[in-house]
Amino acid sequence: MAVSVLTQKKNAPTGNPVDKLLAATADDMAKVNSLILSRAESHVDMVPELARYLIESGGKRLRPMLTVAAALLFGKGKGNEVNFAAAVEFMHNATLLHDDVVDESDMRRGKPAARMVWGNKASILVGDFLLGQAFMMMVETGDIQALGVLSAASAVMAEGEVFQLAKTGDLTTTEADYAEVIRAKTAVLFKAACEVGAMSGGADAAGRAALAQYGLELGNAFQLVDDALDYGGQSGALGKNVGDDLREGKMTLPVILALAEGSEAERAIIAGALGKVDASELEVSQVVAIFNRHNTLARTLEKARAHADAAVEALAGLPDSEMKTLLGEVVLHSVSRAS
């Protein structure tokens, strides 16, 4: 029988499901946040300076919240979820540090990327440090099965990033390639975050599989929305500018669909702007106009909604509880941010 945390809260907020999730996981997340800060410490000053700059830059900490929520959903927590949640957030932040170097990104979460302040070298090495610390926190739980889930995720994420890099600017990239990239680089960490949370919460095999599937579908939906927002979101809202993916030559779904269905002339316009670091706003808007003619942004969001529905569906076999309802609402909210 699942235990609901929400029922224990006197003043559960209404409205935004992410805020409700934050409230429902507040006690454990306070421990997670303090563990995150203490594990970013080092006698080498540059390490905590850089790590905290990123960690405290206003990320939502959605992944560690999901780990905690998944543990609470099953309610037989061994307390390992705090370590796993912090480890998941460190893995995510290590990836962000390396990604910003790889993508040559200037901004992250609305302020200069760490590499613009401390340089690429420090960003690479502090990323490595966070990854090492993540593994230490996992090891401390003694849960070798969960370690397997998270270490596999770590390798797959890097593989996904390499695949994305290999496909950069490649006009022959297929929808299947794209699905593989977002699964590996994004969805697998959401999956692992939810799965180890469930394991830590004492889920049986079916419960663990349900949360793994939920995380995978949520992660896919999340990345699809991100990739649509990159062309349609308001500048600044995501801390990055519209068209960044285009300038970086990233083969995301809106591009792939437009290339597949566009006219010769349209393909030429897209190809001309893809990977052009200094593509102008006009060039970007011409590409977005092509997307709109072929409805590729709307169809990307449609696909995101299908994954979101699948995420909710993955939880269907679990006993009803307020936490289960909330996890469903979080998914739907995460796709609604782009509509």
For a copy of itself, the binding residues (CB under 8 A) are: 42, 44-47, 94, 98, 101-102, 120-122, 124-126, 128-129, 131-133, 135-136, 138-140, 142, 144, 147-148, 151-159, 161-163, 165-166
Q: Considering the complex, what minimum distance in angstroms separates the CB of residue 150 from a copy of itself?
A: 8
Q: Considering the complex, what minimum distance in angstroms separates the CB of residue 121 from a copy of itself?
A: 4
Q: How far is it, in rounded angstroms, from Cα 273 to Cα 244?
A: 11
Q: DSSP assignment of 135-189, as one string? A: HHHHHHHT-HHHHHHHHHHHHHHHHHHHHHHHTTT-TT--HHHHHHHHIIIIIHH
Q: Considering the complex, what minimum distance in angstroms separates the CB of residue 162 from a copy of itself?
A: 5
Q: Which two tokens stand for residue 331?
A: 């998914």
Q: Considering the complex, what minimum distance in angstroms separates the CB of residue 81 from a copy of itself?
A: 18
Q: How far is it, in rounded angstroms, from Cα 139 to Cα 28?
A: 19
Contact 75, 326 (CB under 8 A): no
Nearer to a copy of itself among residue 136 and residue 316 (C-beta): 136
Q: DSSP assignment of 300-337, as one string? A: HHHHHHHHHHHHHHHTTTSPP-HHHHHHHHHHHHHHHT
Nearer to a copy of itself among residue 40 and residue 71 (C-beta): 40
Nearer to a copy of itself among residue 160 and residue 254 (C-beta): 160
Q: Considering the complex, what minimum distance in angstroms separates the CB of residue 6 from a copy of itself?
A: 35
Nearer to a copy of itself among residue 152 and residue 268 (C-beta): 152
Nearest 10 degrees: CA dihedral of 234, 240, 241, 245? Answer: -110
Nearer to a copy of itself among residue 252 and residue 300 (C-beta): 252
